[in-house]
A and B are shown apart, each in its own frame.
Chain A
């Protein structure tokens, strides 16, 4: 029973983190048909922004809520600025070009941003665990878990709900959906496709930065943290279906569960299991579990 509850809690916690990391990536792909490797760098930038914001908040004597608000605020502002710059200065010129070209461009951006963070912050690990420490521990099934980590499960579900509601129940969401299906018809119907694309990219980059900011109190932030993140985020969105937000949630749950089960029961195959889950899903459903149905244009 102890092991089962530990597996469930660990799977939920890890899946929540995976979803936060992957949601921006899948949103950008869904709307812009763009595999954004730079998403890993957005995560890294968000984590560094949070480290400095929390450090400043602690120095000012602010409480936990304000420390977190400062971290999220800093990450959001920086994410929005970087998203705007990247979309306007780089991606705008690449829309309509072959996908591999755009992929390489975002990879180049990833390297540039990663090096920039290193130049600014140095090679040293930085940490700002105060908000996580302040929230204390919670006992589940005989094991202690940081309340912060458990709270992230709720945050992740809220992000998922907000994304679903915005896309399915608002006028803006309907416009985005229209652009996803056919940008030319959408433009003919009066939707400003350019703004939708820019806005979506900015929201995606803000989500990437927020994922980094929320992770920062859990880890030591060091150069290159975005590398592993982008790999596993791709695994999640590919399992769930590129461009599908419910798919990202499902993919995160599957990958998180695979990791938690193997970590407890078969640790020797833990690393293998995550990517085996991805291969197994793709072998059965090459477009992922919940990939949006694509209309064939003739």
Chain B
């Protein structure tokens, strides 16, 4: 009996030690979780960032009110009320570094979710590691973040797939639609997102069809208004297809100007962020263009109770279908919530950051698009997800929404590099290990 009692006492003590080790210091425990949410709220990026802010706000409020369907029906995050602190991402990396330190040291946030610009992600990640703050880079797409900048992340995570997925799936889809294609030109924004997108897309196309030609690869400054010269250059030697990773106002302006000048009749448009153009231009969108959404968002979303709720709630609140920025922000919060509650294992209260990150590694969680995300790469700090492409076929005036045809979904393991393999190396290897 004594032995049994000793065993019971020892095991109880061990359990208490374990639980104490993942829970924060009770002296500082509170009933709220303060989250820094960093999105572009001004400048050219606001066309995208304001959607992310709207999505995050909606999700935070709905979670606090326990109005989100399963599997996120528990109030807040592990019962802790979410207190969002919104910060504008505009202003450049130096400003963001100062803002990040302010969030951590002055606002005392428990974690940060945000950053769309690859340049900002690259700048913030080393500081996140230094300050040991869980930071979810919710939507920047550069593979370099965990390939070159922070190669052994401990506190930095990314709950969105890299842009590699977009480029690989775009190349595959284009070749399926146009197997006899001979040439592709590109026009992209002149910063890391645009440069990486064009490099990866070209590598993917060449891997799939080695004799493909690239007559023009143009880069324009972010925020350019007039694309007359670029459109003339593209019209002078038109390629069979035109690839672009433009987003925000740039994408809209280019689509309007290219359409007016007949470029869309000469080249098939492949727009990795094209759903943003549909969101903004509606029926002025280029009919016949191939478009993606940085994931299976918006028109590609699957019908699940969670996806249907998100779409309906966003529509009710903001009087429009959710743009993909809203989906990205939602999945960023959902990923953290899923990890937090997994780590808590049913026990209420605040957890240590390390416990949440440990729970996030390898975790598969549900998203508002209906396609789950798995934290599969870079030691469980980098997400992979299925993606989809389709064709914009026109505008349904009765339903006031786009008609999208030929939707094809690519499994996550088909269009994302395997764990431990650099994106460009994987593409150049002919997608070795891809499961399509």
Contact = CB atoms under 8 A, between A and B. Distances in A.
A129 B190 contact: no
Given A17-B226, A137-B261, A268-B219, A123 B232 contact: no
A127 interface: yes
Contacts of B44: 222-225, 227-228
Given A123-B47, A264-B229, A145 B261 contact: yes
B42 A271 contact: no
Contacts of B221: 228, 271
Given A123-B50, A133-B260, A143-B232, A228 B225 contact: yes
Contact of A260 (B49, B219, B229): B229
Contacts of A2: 236
Given A6-B233, A219-B225, A259-B229, A129 B46 contact: no
Contacts of B262: 137, 144
A143 B256 contact: no
Interface string A120-163: 00111101010011000100000111100100000000000000
B236 A10 contact: no
B281 interface: yes
Interface residues of B, number: 45
A124 B280 contact: yes
Contacts of A227: 43-44, 223
Contacts of B235: 6, 143-144
A188 B216 CA distance: 62
A94 to B, nearest CB: 24
B223 A10 contact: no
Q: Report whether over half of chain B's contact residues are helix, strand or loop; otherwise say mixed.
A: helix
Interface string B252-266: 110111001110000
B249 to A, nearest CB: 3
Contacts of B216: 267
A43 to B, nearest CB: 9
B218 interface: yes
B284 interface: yes
B228 A149 contact: yes
A14 B226 contact: yes
A67 interface: no
Given A218-B225, A225-B225, A144 B46 contact: no
Contacts of A14: 226, 228-229
B222 interface: yes
A2 B260 CA distance: 20
Contacts of A133: 260
A222 B47 contact: yes
Interface string A229-263: 10000000000000000000000000000011001
Contacts of A111: 42
A229 B233 contact: no
A3 interface: yes
A123 B51 contact: yes
Interface in A185-213: none
Given A223-B42, A223-B43, 7 more contacts: A124-B280, A125-B249, A129-B256, A219-B226, A219-B256, A222-B44, A268-B217
Nearest 10 interchain pairs by C-beta: A123-B50, A220-B252, A222-B249, A228-B223, A224-B43, A263-B229, A224-B44, A10-B229, A125-B280, A223-B46
24 contacts: A3-B236, A6-B233, A13-B226, A13-B228, A123-B41, A125-B248, A125-B280, A137-B260, A144-B235, A144-B261, A144-B262, A146-B260, A146-B261, A149-B228, A221-B249, A222-B47, A222-B252, A227-B43, A228-B224, A263-B230, A263-B233, A267-B216, A271-B190, A271-B219
